[in-house]
């Protein structure tokens, strides 16, 4: 496993490096896509009569996807480490109007401004209507519109659909260098990002060199512990701008096709609850226990 070599990135990225090293700009702009999902601690209620729409979202506590929160935290830390006030962290969320709360949370943590691509209330983002392909296309449009984005930091997956596709798809669409499952991110003076990746074999360190496209990094759990919005930051956040644009307008502006964005690439066939755990059984003695285990063929 070679160090300093982006994994899964086409070899022409190294050519891009030569092109961009002269154009490298001093200010840094980080885009952080954030998703509003059912709160991680809520017991999911499944209505089996609803087919693919079985997961009940009405009257359920929603929060920022925990991996997205880690991405927001990391973006703010990168900005704080660089100590340049021209740097910018932009939080982007695609979803219903309540996503404004999610964006407000990111701003209160320390993001500088927000972009809210507002969908109609019945558009579901949990792998039903808006799927990673559509999201990645929209994010690509935002990156291009924003201009000079250095880094897109995403959660490695959202806890509602657990796809883990948006980051890699976006990197592909942007032809950008990417690192997934980041456990550590540092920025070097030349604008490259050094990332420790969590892999089954251990930690892998790779370097994403500056290119015409932003670096795309997806964040894993170990990367950081997100901060609490503090009083002064909550108050500052109220003055930070949030641009709200409807999905329809955004699609038009980006020259995309709405049906294409919303058309599921994968079809959800069925959603069902895991079978309930069977009730345990109390046994009188160790001998009875061993007897039972032997009866089930679990011990020799």
Partner 1 sequence: MTTTAISALPAGLARSIKRGEMITKCTRSNLRRNTSSECIFAAPGRSWHGSPCWPRSSSRRAAKQRLTRSFSNAAPASLRSPNEDDLTHFRSILAPHQIVTTLGNSSNSRNDLDPYNRDWTNRYQGHSSLVLRPQSTQQVSSILAYCHERRIPLVPRGGNTGLCGGSTPLSNEVVLSLEYMNVIHSLDASSGILSAQAGCILHDLHEYASQRGYLFPLEIGSKGTCQIGGNVSTNAGGQYYYRWGGLHGNVVGMEVVLPDGRVLRLNMAEGRSDVHGGMDSAASVGGCHRKDNTGYDLKHLFIGAEGTLGVITEVAVACPPLPTSKHAVMIVCESYSTVLEVLVAAKEELGEILSAMELMDWQTLTLVRGSLGDSSVSGEALLLDEMLDTKNDSTTASSPPLSQSTATTPQSPLYILVETQGSNSEHDASKMDSFLTRLYDSLTIRNGFLATDSKRIHTLWNIREACNPAVSRSGYVYKYDVSVPIEEYMDVAAEVKETLSSQGSSFFPETAVCVWGHLADGNAHINVVTPGIFTKDESLASHVDESVYGSVLRRRGSISAEHGIGQSKSEILGKIKDRSVLDVMVQLKQLFDPHGIMNPGKVLTSDMVSNMKS
**Are the beta carbons of 299 and 293 closer than 8 angstroms?**
yes
Task: Compute the least distance from the CB of residue 89 to partner 1, in Å.
Answer: 18
Which is closer to partner 1, CB of 8 or CB of 121? 121
- Residue whose CB is less far from partner 1, 24 or 228: 228
Determine the length of the chain. Answer: 300
- Using CB under 8 A as the criterion, which residues of the chain lie in contact with partner 1 when the complex forms? 39-43, 59-64, 66, 69, 98, 101, 104-105, 108, 225, 228-232, 234-235, 238, 282, 284
d(CA 293, CA 279): 16
First to last CA, the chain: 42
**What is the token pair recorded at 20?**
């961009």
What is the spatial distance between Cα 206 and Cα 6, in angstroms, rounded to a whole number? 6
User: Do 79 and 169 contact (CB within 8 A), yes or no?
Assistant: no
The rounded distance, in Å, linking the Cα atoms of 120 and 198 is 37
Q: CB of 209: closest distance to partner 1 in angstroms?
A: 30
Distance CA 226, CA 217 (A): 17
- Closest approach, Cβ 271 to partner 1, in A, equals 18
Choose between 24 and 40: whose C-beta lies nearer to partner 1.
40
Q: In whole angstroms, how close is the CB of 218 to partner 1 at the nearest point?
A: 20
64: which strand partners?
Answer: 36
Residue with Cβ nearer partner 1 (159 or 262)? 159
CB of 100 to partner 1, least distance (A): 9
Judged by beta carbon, residue 39 or residue 248, the one nearer partner 1 is: 39
């Amino acid at each position: 496993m070679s160090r300093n070599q982006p994994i899964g990135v086409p070899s022409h990225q190294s050519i891009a490096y030569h092109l961009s090293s002269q154009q490298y700009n001093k200010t840094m702009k980080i885009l952080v896509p954030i998703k509003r999902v059912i709160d991680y601690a809520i017991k999911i209620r499944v209505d089996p009569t609803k087919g693919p729409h079985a997961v009940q979202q009405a009257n359920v506590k929603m929060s920022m996807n925990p991996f997205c929160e880690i991405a927001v935290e990391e973006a703010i830390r990168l900005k704080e480490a660089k100590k340049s006030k021209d740097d910018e962290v932009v939080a982007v969320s695609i979803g219903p109007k309540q996503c404004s709360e999610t964006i407000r949370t990111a701003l209160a943590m320390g993001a500088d401004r927000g972009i809210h691509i507002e969908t109609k209330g019945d558009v579901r983002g949990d792998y039903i209507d808006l799927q990673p392909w559509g999201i990645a296309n929209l994010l690509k449009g935002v990156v291009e519109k924003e201009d000079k984005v250095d880094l897109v930091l995403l959660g490695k997956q959202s806890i509602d659909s657990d796809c883990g596709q948006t980051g890699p798809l976006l990197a592909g669409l942007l032809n950008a260098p990417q690192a997934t499952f980041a456990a550590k991110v540092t920025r070097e003076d030349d604008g490259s990002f050094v990332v420790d990746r969590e892999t089954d074999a251990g930690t892998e360190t790779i370097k994403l060199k500056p290119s015409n496209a932003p670096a795309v990094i997806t964040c894993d759990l170990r990367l950081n512990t997100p901060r609490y919005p503090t009083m002064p930051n909550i108050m500052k956040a109220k003055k930070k701008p949030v641009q709200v644009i409807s999905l329809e307008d955004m699609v038009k502006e980006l020259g995309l096709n709405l049906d294409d964005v919303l058309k599921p690439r994968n079809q959800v066939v069925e959603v069902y609850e895991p079978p309930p755990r069977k009730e345990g059984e109390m046994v009188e003695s160790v001998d009875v226990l061993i007897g039972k285990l032997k009866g089930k063929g679990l011990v020799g």
